[in-house]
Chains A and B, each alone.
Chain A
Amino acid sequence: MLCQHALILLPLFVATLELAIPFFPKTSGLIYLSLVTFIFIVAPKRCAIGDWRKILPSALISALGAVATFALANHLDLGPLVASAIVGLVGTFFLAEDDQLKIYLGAFVGMTSVARFPSLGLVVVAGLVGGVLWQVLNETWNGVGGRLGTIAAAAVLVVVLTLGGGL
């Protein structure tokens, strides 16, 4: 359970770093290195996934939401707020309640700016990571508003820290 909390706290941790790093710039590289080490070495060993069969559908739905939102926001110039709302609303018409949450999670991932994700490939990867994290963190912070956004931010940060984009 401690591992799940550590993962979901990742965005809050990075936000704190963003505020604090100007005060100790020399150690920032070391902090990010330890963060990436945690994500790829410690987290997969410690975090148990409830049901592996649910991973793929969850990841695909989340990636779909991310790509749709990113495309609506940037290619149709609707902006991230309107785009995510449209994706969420369309999801409510066609999907069951649990899947609505997954596509809305993907929509949050797709709200990332072009400056962070210059290519659509990164959006797809972040969407897939979001779907996987949804399964890993399913019972964590249950019923807390903003949980989906926090998981989405964790997915985006994992991709930005490892594949590029930078903080």
Chain B
Amino acid sequence: MSVLLAMSLGLLWGFAGHTLRKRTKLSVVAVSSWLTLVAALVLPRFFHEGYLFALICTAVSYVVMSSSNRLEKLWETLVVCLICTLLVYFGQDVLVGIGGRLGTLAALSALIFIVPKVHFGLLKARRR
């Protein structure tokens, strides 16, 4: 149940981040900072595992900092947000206390999606 809630929140934050990046002129740092601030202030007050959910949403806010060249469409961003949610949820014991841990997990989830995408894109281009 907890993991389903985490996935829902991860997707919600990913959608919000994607929308803010497309519809406003906020910089990537501003978008990520706002998403982090809201997650850190709101989620721990409403959920028993609120701090973990705040960590997940913060990591997702780093995912949405990806350039539009890397993640072009909304569904691509959401897939990476979902991967990131699962990595943070199940990787809670990795790099504990090290600054940049969430960013590392966000980058890892982005690369899990982007590397095959680029690879298959190149294969398609060769076939043509």
A and B: bona fide binding partners: yes
Q: With A18-B95, A108-B99, A144-B110 in contact, do A153 and B30 touch (Cβ < 8 Å)?
A: no
Contact A146 B62 (CB under 8 A): yes
Chain A residues whose CB sits within 8 angstroms of the CB of B54 once the complex forms? 81
Check if B32 sits within 8 Å of A153, measured CB to CB: no
Number of A-B residue pairs with CB-CB distance less than 8 Å in the complex they form: 154
A2 to B27, alpha carbons, bound, how many Å? 30
Which listed residue (B55, B63, B91, B95) contacts A153, Cβ 8 A?
B95
On chain B, the residues within 8 Å of A141 by CB distance are 107, 111
Is B103 a contact partner of A146 (Cβ separation < 8 A)? yes
Tell whether, in the assembled complex, residue A14 and residue B95 are in contact, meaning their CB atoms are under 8 Å apart. yes
Given A144-B111, A145-B62: A154 and B100 interface contact (C-beta under 8 Å): yes
Chain B interface residue count, CB cutoff 8 Å, equals 48
Give Cα A12 to B69, complex, Å: 24
| Nearest chain A residue, comparing its CB with the CB of B114 | A144
Give every chain A residue within 8 A of B64 (Cβ-Cβ): 145
A112 touching B108, Cβ below 8 Å: no
B16 proximal to A (CB < 8 A): no
* Cα–Cα distance between A159 and B70 once the two chains are bound (Å): 31
CA distance A104 to B61 in the complex (A): 13
Which partner residue on chain A sits nearest B105 by CB separation? A146
A66, B99: Cα distance in complex, Å: 10
Q: How far is the CA of A111 from the CA of B99 in the complex (A)?
A: 5
Within the complex, the shortest CB–CB distance from B86 to chain A, in Å, comes to 15
Measured in the bound complex, the distance between the Cα atoms of B101 and A110 in whole Å is: 12
User: Whole-angstrom distance from the CB of A27 to the nearest CB of chain B?
Assistant: 20
**Given contacts A81-B55, A85-B37, is CB(A146)–CB(B110) below 8 Å?**
yes
A-B residue pairs in contact (CB < 8 Å), sample of 9: A80-B99, A81-B40, A91-B29, A104-B32, A108-B100, A113-B96, A116-B97, A145-B66, A149-B101
